[in-house]
A = this chain, B = another copy of it.
Amino acid sequence: MSKKVAVFRKEHFNAAHRLFNPGWDDETNEKIFGKCSLPNFHGHNYELEVKVVGEPDPQTGYVMDMKVLSDLIKNEIHSRFDHKNLNLDTEEFKGVNPTAENIAIVIYELLRNKIESKFDLQIRLYETPRNYVEYPI
């Protein structure tokens, strides 16, 4: 019988962003996104939880070495987004509005390429202590 276990690792990064749809004029952006669209950006301490699901290896008792997962998150996510302006400094959000939903999808896709396909993967991202998202469902 399969004994799947989920393992979770929390990391974080601090970034600036603004919400903005380039297909709309400024007035519409402000109407829809409110102060989240202010032109000079604001920012967040993003708290990231990465969930990996698989069977523990019988030799190690690990689904995945948390140090390996932590290093992967640091290399793929933290080094890319930490202390950056998501709108101006990143390839990933050129043409993608950096809502928490879209940031979670981008992070999922970056990590999905680097984690063996036998493992399921899910992202939880806290934009603030009171707002967070999960992807995929």
Contact = CB atoms under 8 A, between A and B. Distances in A.
Contacts of A62: 99, 101
A63 B137 CA distance: 13
Contacts of A137: 4-6, 53
A23 B60 CA distance: 11
A132 B32 CA distance: 34
Query: Main secondary structure on chain A at its contact with chain B?
Result: mixed
Given A38-B84, A43-B16, A5 B67 contact: no
Interface of A: 3-12, 14-17, 19, 21, 23-24, 32-36, 38, 40-45, 53, 56, 59-63, 65-67, 82-85, 88-89, 96-102, 104-105, 128-137
